[in-house]
């Protein structure tokens, strides 16, 4: 059958038989036209956690040269939504705020193939795909002096807390001075415990619940206090 036991969504080369499907997903004012397939994360529909994250994304006001990073982009719902939203802001705002550079890191080759197709189908021009393990891109991003105003992720939970912590530690090191990391995690899959570990790594950072919904926690982590209008569901913790 099409799903070998060891074929995890974060496999570099999924072995399952390729079966492509098309999704049209409306999320927070934009419709995404996405191809997905066997062997990638959440092929049947955009993941519930991803949807809740997108619905609650905090979007920094753009400036020329602003960079955004997504870690573990999969077939692209978050990065593509981001570009579509900044394109829209560029069109409707008379000041034409620039569309940021969006870097989308992904390890699964089948997801990368889909991501590249979805970027074209959705008319995205500002997404750079970082192919491979994020930890392999970290040094070259640092060397090039590329820093990020916002880093988003629906992190690869199944890789375990240790790998996730490594990804977060490296991401933290790539943030621009007033930047932030925003992520989603299911409470029952260890969100409170993972948060405790992040607080140990960065005891001086601010960690804010942006939203708690349907068993998912959307969390914003930043080295400086970040104003989140009325969206905060509970204070600092
Ligand atoms: C929970 S999925 C989220 C996918 C996509 N952002 C979405 O919301 O549908 C996490 C993604 O991280 C990718 N991933 C796992 N380990 C990675 C690593 N070390 N570097 C880059 N991507 C990784 C997986 O292949 C998977 O696509």
Residue 148 has a pLDDT of: 98
Residue 97 has a pLDDT of: 95
pTM: predicted TM-score of the whole model, two decimal places: 0.93
Pocket test for ligand 1, best of 38, 51, 74 (most atoms within 8 A of CB): 74
- Ligand 1 centroid, distance to 109 Cα (angstroms): 11
Closest protein CA for atom 6 of ligand 1: 73
Residue 52 has a pLDDT of: 97
pLDDT digits (tens, 9 = 90+) for 13-25: 888 889 999 999 9
- Ligand 1 centroid, distance to 94 Cα (angstroms): 36
Residue 1 has a pLDDT of: 37
Residue 229 has a pLDDT of: 66
Q: State the alpha helices, DSSP H only, in the chain.
A: 48-55, 77-92, 109-121, 134-143, 161-172, 191-201
Confidence of residue 149 (pLDDT cuts 50, 70, 90): very high
Rg for the chain, CA atoms, rounded: 17
3-state secondary structure the chain: CCCCCCCCCCCCCCCCCCCEEEEEEEECCEEEEEEEECCCCCCCCCCHHHHHHHHCCCCCCCCCCCEEEEECCCCCHHHHHHHHHHHHHHHHCCCCCCCCEEEEEECCHHHHHHHHHHHHHCCCCCEEEEECCHHHHHHHHHHCCCCEEEEEECCCHHHCHHHHHHHHHHHHCCEEEEEEEEEEEEHHHCHHHHHHHHHHHCCCCEEEEEEEECCEEEEEEECCCCCCCCCCCCCEC
- pLDDT, mean of residues 123-128: 98
Q: Is the pLDDT of residue 51 over 80?
A: yes
pLDDT digits (tens, 9 = 90+) for 89-121: 999 999 999 999 999 999 999 999 999 999 999
Q: Which atom of ligand 1 is nearest to the CA of 79?
A: 6
Q: How would CATH label the architecture of 48-222?
A: 3-Layer(aba) Sandwich (3.40)
Pocket test for ligand 1, best of 49, 72, 104, 119 (most atoms within 8 A of CB): 72
User: Can you give the residue ranges of every domain in the chain?
Assistant: 48-222
Closest protein CA for atom 13 of ligand 1: 72
Q: Is the pLDDT of residue 237 over 50?
A: no
Q: Which atom of ligand 1 is nearest to the CA of 47?
A: 9
Residue 207 has a pLDDT of: 97
Average pLDDT, the chain: 92
Closest protein CA for atom 18 of ligand 1: 133
pLDDT digits (tens, 9 = 90+) for 177-228: 999 999 999 999 999 999 999 999 999 999 999 999 999 999 999 999 887 7
Q: Is the pLDDT of residue 131 over 90?
A: yes
Residue 171 has a pLDDT of: 96
Closest protein CA for atom 5 of ligand 1: 74
Q: Which atom of ligand 1 is nearest to the CA of 10?
A: 25
Which residues does a 6 A CB cutoff place in the pocket of ligand 1?
9-10, 41-42, 47, 50, 71-74, 77-78, 105-108, 111, 133-135, 154, 156, 159
Q: Is the pLDDT of residue 164 over 90?
A: yes
- Ligand 1 centroid, distance to 9 Cα (angstroms): 8
Q: Is the pLDDT of residue 231 over 70?
A: no
């Amino acid at each position: 059958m099409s799903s070998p036991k060891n074929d995890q969504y974060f496999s570099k080369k999924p072995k399952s038989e390729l079966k492509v499907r098309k999704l049209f997903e409306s999320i927070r004012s934009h419709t995404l036209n996405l191809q997905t397939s066997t062997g990638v994360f959440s092929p049947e529909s955009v993941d519930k956690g991803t949807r809740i994250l997108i619905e609650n994304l905090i979007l920094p006001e753009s400036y020329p040269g602003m960079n955004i990073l997504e870690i573990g982009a999969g077939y692209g719902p978050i990065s593509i939504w981001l570009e579509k939203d900044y394109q829209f802001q560029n069109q409707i705002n008379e000041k034409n705020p620039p569309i940021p550079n969006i870097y989308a890191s992904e390890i699964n080759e089948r997801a990368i193939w889909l991501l590249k197709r979805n970027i074209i189908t959705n008319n995205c021009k500002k997404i750079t795909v970082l192919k491979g393990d994020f930890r392999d891109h970290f040094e070259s991003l640092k060397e090039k002096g590329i820093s990020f105003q916002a880093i988003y992720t629906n992190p690869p939970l199944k890789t375990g807390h240790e790998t996730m912590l490594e990804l977060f530690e490296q991401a933290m090191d790539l943030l621009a001075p007033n930047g932030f990391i925003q992520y989603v995690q299911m409470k029952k899959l260890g969100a409170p415990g993972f948060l405790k570990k992040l607080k140990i790594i960065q005891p001086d950072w601010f960690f804010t619940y942006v939203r708690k919904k349907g068993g998912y926690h959307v969390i914003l982590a930043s080295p400086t206090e970040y104003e989140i209008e009325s969206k905060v569901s509970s204070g600092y913790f």
